[in-house]
């Protein structure tokens, strides 16, 4: 591919972030566009590896391996190296409806499965992907795609996150009349209100939404299915329904003091902050404000990191991040072999910003929160923790034990719970009498997406549980294919 000896000649390089001290003064994207010549060299590093694992998305040992939407990565790396950017964009769009989203927020399991990564640093795939699509927009290569003919079938897509948008795009390409229902005031779901602006600018999301609307997709905002319109009524008015509800029930921490004011779910904080940024640039004050507050984020992952970056930009006084799990190793462990996603210690943008602001990484590992404490006004003032030992599990109990004498009290004015999600809200499933699995997800087989009720499909996090944006796109595309097959008897959708 590209230059046969490129991986021997060029070192891995990634697009830089803006200086943390500078970017903390605004809500703009933190990533700096890499020079084209740098990306051409990175494309040259793509090996003629014979069996490219980067695009063979799947699960190995329940761990992600390769790109879930099977992006034709070696092909567009080669095209970029040969300065054929328009063709690279066409290849990219064959498998990915929204590379401007995944190029910004995907953790890049493709890079974790790069064959070059066995012995060297992997190819810089994610930056190349983003640059291809951004150049496509800047050059005017991306435009609305209304279908030449309509089938006359009407499909309702419930939810406008990445699964819902991908499903709507594909069904519209097939010629169906698609209506997307979103209970919020803006289209995008997780992309709009779940991911902060500095990580994914909302103009990027709205640009794609406008393209879909101009292509013929109907968007109906501030309409909650199950409340504003019953699911049964929707079933009567449309020929098929695709549920892309997300997994929006957050995991709680039911310990003493949970009812105190100042303890919030992460999405309350993140969503409210972004909405007020877009509505009034924070002028109306109707959001959870961390200014001059001692903030503790419980839980790691992307959501916890986003809480860190948001709280620092708001001007918090101090910030600590608790993770109950041990600190990951610097390199792959023996039980985490290539081509699985490498479970190693990573420092994300929020951690870098916290260190720039407060002088140290905010993460504390092997910490369990045991109690929230407050004053006589029911306001949070502090919390209690203890250390945990994962090498000493409790018999018939948790996989760890508490370390005797490790109790500690931490001052806290705000606590954000970022411990993941339990599954979708159940109202729509109950109204349609849908079967659910043991985790409360809508029951529908992967790659089939048909629920227990004929003509009702499910995709994304409401079917598979909390997952990546790229998996949501995969499932939205797959559900569109099966919905099209249901309506037409056959399908040409991939």
Is residue 217 classed as helix, strand or coil in its secondary structure? coil
Q: What is the CA radius of gyration of the chain?
A: 23
Half-sphere CA count of 43, side-chain side, radius 13 A: 26
How much is the pLDDT for 284? 86
Q: Which domains does the chain have, with CATH numbers?
A: 6-138 (1.10.1060.10), 154-248+422-488 (3.50.50.60), 252-419 (3.50.50.60)
Contacts of 489 (CB under 8 A, 6+ apart): none
- 114/49 Cα distance (integer angstroms): 9
- 290/310 Cα distance (integer angstroms): 9
* Burial class of residue 370 in the structure, from the number of CB atoms within 10 Å of its CB (0-12 exposed, 13-18 middle, 19+ buried): middle
Q: Find the helix or strand (DSSP H, E) in which 380 lies.
A: strand 380-389
Residue-by-residue pLDDT tens, the chain, 494 positions:
678 899 999 999 999 999 999 999 999 999 998 889 999 999 999 988 888 999 888 778 777 789 999 999 999 999 999 999 999 999 999 999 999 999 999 999 999 999 999 999 999 999 999 999 999 999 999 999 999 999 999 999 999 999 999 999 999 999 999 999 999 999 999 999 999 999 999 999 999 999 999 999 999 999 999 999 999 999 999 999 999 999 999 999 999 999 999 999 999 999 999 999 999 999 888 899 999 999 999 999 999 999 999 999 999 999 999 999 999 999 999 999 999 999 999 999 999 999 999 999 999 999 999 999 999 999 999 999 999 999 999 999 999 999 999 999 999 999 999 999 999 999 999 999 999 999 999 999 999 999 999 999 999 999 999 999 999 999 999 999 999 999 999 999 99
How much is the pLDDT for 3? 86
The predicted model scores a pTM of 0.96
The answer for 461, left when phi > 0, alpha when psi is -120 to 50, beta otherwise, is alpha
């Amino acid at each position: 591919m590209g230059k046969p000896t490129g991986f021997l000649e060029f070192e891995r390089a990634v697009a830089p972030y803006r200086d943390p001290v500078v970017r903390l003064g605004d809500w703009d994207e933190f990533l700096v566009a890499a020079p084209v010549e740098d990306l051409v060299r990175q494309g040259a590093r793509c090996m003629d590896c014979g069996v490219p694992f980067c695009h063979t998305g799947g699960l190995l040992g329940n761990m992600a391996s390769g790109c879930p939407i099977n992006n034709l990565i070696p092909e567009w790396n080669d095209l970029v190296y040969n300065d054929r950017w328009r063709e690279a964009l066409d290849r990219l769009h064959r498998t990915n409806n929204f590379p401007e989203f995944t190029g910004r927020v995907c953790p890049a399991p493709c890079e974790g499965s790069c064959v070059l990564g066995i012995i060297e640093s992997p190819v810089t795939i994610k930056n190349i992907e983003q640059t291809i699509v951004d150049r496509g927009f800047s050059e005017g290569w991306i435009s609305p795609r209304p279908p030449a003919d309509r089938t006359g079938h009407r499909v309702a897509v419930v939810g406008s996150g990445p699964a819902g948008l991908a499903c709507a795009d594909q069904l519209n390409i097939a010629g169906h009349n698609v209506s997307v229902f979103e209970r919020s005031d803006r289209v995008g779901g997780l992309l709009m209100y779940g991911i902060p602006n500095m990580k994914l600018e909302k103009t990027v999301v709205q640009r794609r939404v406008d393209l879909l609307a101009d292509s013929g997709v109907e968007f109906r905002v501030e309409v909650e299915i199950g409340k504003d319109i019953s699911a049964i009524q929707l079933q009567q008015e449309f020929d098929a329904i695709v549920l892309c509800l997300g997994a929006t029930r957050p995991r709680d921490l039911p310990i003493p003091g949970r009812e105190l004011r100042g303890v919030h779910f992460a999405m309350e904080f993140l969503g409210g902050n972004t909405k007020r940024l877009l509505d009034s640039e924070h002028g109306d004050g109707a959001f959870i404000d961390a200014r001059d507050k001692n903030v503790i984020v419980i839980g790691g992952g992307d959501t916890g990191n986003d809480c860190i970056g948001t709280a620092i930009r708001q001007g918090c006084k101090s910030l600590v991040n608790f993770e109950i799990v041990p600190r990951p190793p610097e390199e792959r462990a023996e039980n985490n072999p290539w081509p699985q996603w490498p479970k190693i210690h990573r420092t994300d943008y929020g951690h870098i910003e916290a260190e720039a602001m407060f002088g140290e990484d905010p993460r504390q590992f092997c910490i369990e929160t045991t109690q929230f404490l407050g004053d006589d006004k029911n306001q949070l003032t502090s919390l209690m923790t203890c250390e945990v030992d994962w090498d000493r599990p409790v018999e018939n109990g948790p996989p760890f034990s508490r370390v005797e004498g490790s109790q500690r009290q931490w001052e806290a004015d705000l606590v954000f719970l970022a411990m993941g999600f339990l599954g979708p809200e159940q109202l729509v499933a109950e109204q349609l009498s849908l079967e659910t699995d043991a985790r409360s997800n809508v029951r529908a087989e992967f790659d089939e997406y048909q629920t227990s009720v004929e003509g009702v499909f499910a995709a994304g996090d409401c079917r598979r549980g909390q997952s990546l944006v790229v998996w949501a796109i995969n499932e939205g595309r797959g559900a569109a294919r099966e919905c099209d097959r249901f309506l037409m008897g056959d399908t040409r959708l991939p």
